[in-house]
Amino acid sequence: MAVLMVLAFHAGLPFVPGGFAGVDVFFVISGFLITGLLVREVERSGRVSLLRFYARRAKRLLPAASLVLVVTGVLSWSFVPTVRWAEIGGDLAASAAYVINWRLAARSVDYLAEDSVASPVQHYWSLAVEEQFYIVWPLLIVLGTWLVHRHRLRTRPVLGALLVLVVLASLGWSLVATAGQPQTAYFVTTTRLWELGVGGLVAITATFWQRLAPGPATAVAWAGVLALVLSATLLGPQTPWPGYAALLPTLGTAAVIAGGFAGRSRGPVRLLGAAPMLDVGATSYSLYLWHWPLLVVAAAAWGELSLWQGVAIAAFSYLPARLTYALVENPIRSAAVMSRLPSLALTVGAACTLLGLGTGLTLVRGMESAVVQAEAGAGAGAGSMLEGGPPVADPVAPSPDADPPAGVARDAAPDPTVTAPDPTAAGPDISRIDLTPESISPDPLLATKDLPGLYDRHCSGSVGGTEVIRCEAGDLAGDLDVAVVGDSKIGQWGDVLEQIATDQGWRLHYYVRDACPWSSASVDDDGSCLLWGQRVHDLLLGPEQPEVVIVSGVKQGAGEGTRQERSDRLAAGYADYWSDLAEEGVPVMVLADSPNPGGKHVYECVSEHRDDLSRCTFDRSDGSGTGALREAAAQVPTATFLTMNDWICPLEECPPVIGDVLVYRQGSHITNTYAVTLLEPLRARLVPAVDAALAALAQPASS
């Protein structure tokens, strides 16, 4: 039942939005089986043979898992874009070492991985959790056995007490972590141990359940089945997980197992014991291993899968699963020589692990050898639109949704003696755009690493963080304090702003956190962004008040409602903070969000179609966050709206490469290499806007 829930969910069947809870069912079953095996060994022999235990786990799990890793590596090499090989290779290696869950947890809070496609071995995270449990739990059993012998205690009560402590500690942490940082809570072992522990408690209390009358036992089992059905149909990807919600499938599975002791010949136990269900159960491990890589690789080769394609591939995965069960799992597990020589089983397991590690390393090396390194500084980037002749004003009629080519959408200076920047003075010469570059810098295979220096200096907070990380840059002895505030969309301008600041005598102060616009409107479920923003607000309106603030953001809106309602709410939150700055005489420079490629991964497309970049263009439009930013700027007299989008996308179809420089990296972020080529165009708009705003504020108020 568990594997069918997972397959249906991954195939995209709409009536099982909570099918991911099948993994929680696996955890309970694993905890039940392993604990029962260990407890019976202690009761039979008075000890636990760790060598034989780990040998049994190695021959049972590692051969099939390693086979799927190797085949997945071959399929990825053949069908997945080269730009993804290094990440997949790392995932393969982490899966082989059974630490993929921690790797995924780290990636889940890396906002710069926002457009990462699902890994073909992402599902190995649950196997990693189980393997880590298999390492720790036998050691606790050994400790419990020592206590039993030393103090002449009964085995099951002592082991049960130890397990209760593990369950309570892990469950408590799961509730805290799910509420505070749900991205990592989903994957880490510490939030999942309690689910395996619940299964273990059922095994330890088996004698109680065996004494139940068939009627009550059957009722308990049916209640468990109902809990699983409700989990699969009522829960969904938006449910905070594991947390409280995971109690439903976890306790439901425990109830099915517990009720099965005395109700073997009736109710759900009889149903689950039917021949087809037994067959699915026998192949469930291999079926779980095979279905996800096939779905992910198929999507990479054919594009987004339809519902029926997903269902067909999930169903097809039964074939390799059945073959793996018959030719790999069963023969190795039942080999007599493996049982006689546990060291041989461990050797085979180690060889399987090395095979998986080698496959991952091969993919990583393959991507490295595929990189075509352009000469340093070879690309002119935006500079290619400046060379020769006067700049062209309003070179192309903007699309209805596009930013106006005007660099400055608001004149911040009410006094006529203060001159605002000429909106057409720094426009790009689109006649100089070359869509057939001789080289591309950075190589698209390295685009995700082409970041501004603030990330190397750890000057940006991560998703879910509430701590305000402060860094200084620019001219540290300068006479103008400028705060750079917002999410990764202001962060993408870091190196350019630092150079301008150095040249102009500004001291830059970074207040940056990924996925967190500086707004008093809440944009996340855990409240971390709101708290971070409030702390920044208190600093900027208090001890660290700057003289100018530069902001940007990628979010479209906040809260619930229509797109416009959400945008209005976010804009009001922006205006709330900016108005507080205005009362203190601090102007705000608002940088528009860069145009959004939508679901297109531009750098990935360029890596696969270097000779036909027309396949990688996309329609010009506002960036996702531009609407709310522009609306907020219109509400605050001291806010000046600036856009560089006529330089980032100077045509109706946004070119992926300009002046031999790749424009986009992750999502709608521009590469640092391209951002640096925008130094002079941005300087031509930002510096006069800052001067104009400060001069306007310095004018005496009219009587």
CA distance 54 to 137: 12
- Picking from 69-78, 343-352, 376-385, 603-612, which range would have the lowest pLDDT averaged per residue? 376-385
Q: What is the mean pLDDT of the chain?
A: 86
DSSP structure string for 150-207:
HHT--HHHHHHHHHHHHHHHHHHHHHHHHHH-HHHHTT-GGGTHHHHHHHHHHHHTHH
- Picking from 351-365, 478-492, 539-553, 597-611, which range would have the lowest pLDDT averaged per residue? 597-611
Contacts of 558 (CB under 8 A, 6+ apart): 519, 521, 522, 523, 566, 569, 570, 573
- Alpha helices, H only, 457-506: 488-491, 494-504
Q: Omega into 395 within 30° of 0, i.e. cis?
A: no
Query: What pLDDT does residue 409 have?
Result: 44
Please, what is the end-to-end C-alpha distance for the chain in angstroms?
79
- Picking from 114-123, 296-305, 492-501, which range would have the lowest pLDDT averaged per residue? 114-123
Tens-digit pLDDT profile for residues 517-539: 999 988 776 788 999 999 999 99
pLDDT top residue among 111 and 536? 536
Residue 448's φ and ψ, nearest 5 degrees, are: -70, -15
Amino acid occupying residue 376: A
- Picking from 102-116, 193-207, 395-409, 669-683, which range would have the lowest pLDDT averaged per residue? 395-409
Q: Could you tell me what percent of the chain has a pLDDT over 90? A: 56
| Residue 474 half-sphere exposure toward CB, CA atoms < 13 A | 25
Task: With a cut of 60, say whether residue 420 has pLDDT above it.
Answer: no
Task: With a cut of 60, say whether residue 377 has pLDDT above it.
Answer: no
Q: What is the dihedral of CA 212, 217, 220, 224, to 10 degrees?
A: 120
Q: CB–CB of 487/553 below 8 Å?
A: yes
CA distance 566 to 3: 38
Q: CB–CB of 98/127 below 8 Å?
A: yes
Query: What pLDDT does residue 346 have?
Result: 93
Residue 421's φ and ψ, nearest 5 degrees, are: -60, 145
* Residues 283-310, mean pLDDT to the nearest whole number: 93
Q: Could you tell me what percent of the chain has a pLDDT over 70? A: 88
State how far Cα 261 lies from the chain centre: 41
Confidence of residue 403 (pLDDT cuts 50, 70, 90): very low
Tens-digit pLDDT profile for residues 24-46: 999 999 999 999 999 998 888 88
Task: With a cut of 70, say whether residue 378 has pLDDT above it.
Answer: no
Token pair recorded at residue 206: 């088996």
* Residues 580-593, mean pLDDT to the nearest whole number: 95
Query: What pLDDT does residue 402 have?
Result: 36
Cβ density class 342-365: b for 16+ within 10 Å, e for less: bebbbebbeebbebbbebbbbbbe
DSSP structure string for 224-280:
HHHHHHHHHHH--TTS--STGGGHHHHHHHHHHHHHHHH-TTSHHHHHHTSHHHHHH
Confidence of residue 419 (pLDDT cuts 50, 70, 90): very low
pLDDT top residue among 186 and 435? 186
- Picking from 69-83, 236-250, 509-523, 621-635, which range would have the lowest pLDDT averaged per residue? 621-635
* Residues 306-329, mean pLDDT to the nearest whole number: 94
Q: CB–CB of 228/259 below 8 Å?
A: no
Domains, the chain, ranges and CATH?
2-365 (no CATH), 407-414+444-697 (3.40.50.1110)
Amino acid occupying residue 489: K
- Closest by Cα among 627, 623, 628, 530 to 575: 628
Tens-digit pLDDT profile for residues 239-257: 888 999 999 999 999 999 9
CA distance 70 to 65: 9
CA distance 291 to 9: 11
CA distance 48 to 41: 6
Task: With a cut of 80, say whether residue 19 has pLDDT above it.
Answer: yes
Query: What pLDDT does residue 83 have?
Result: 87
Contacts of 417 (CB under 8 A, 6+ apart): none
| Residue 516 half-sphere exposure toward CB, CA atoms < 13 A | 29
- Residue 620 buriedness (CB in 10 A; 0-12 / 13-18 / 19+): buried
CA distance 138 to 126: 19
Contacts of 226 (CB under 8 A, 6+ apart): 252
Tens-digit pLDDT profile for residues 492-516: 999 999 999 999 999 999 999 998 9
* Residues 297-317, mean pLDDT to the nearest whole number: 92
* Residues 569-593, mean pLDDT to the nearest whole number: 95
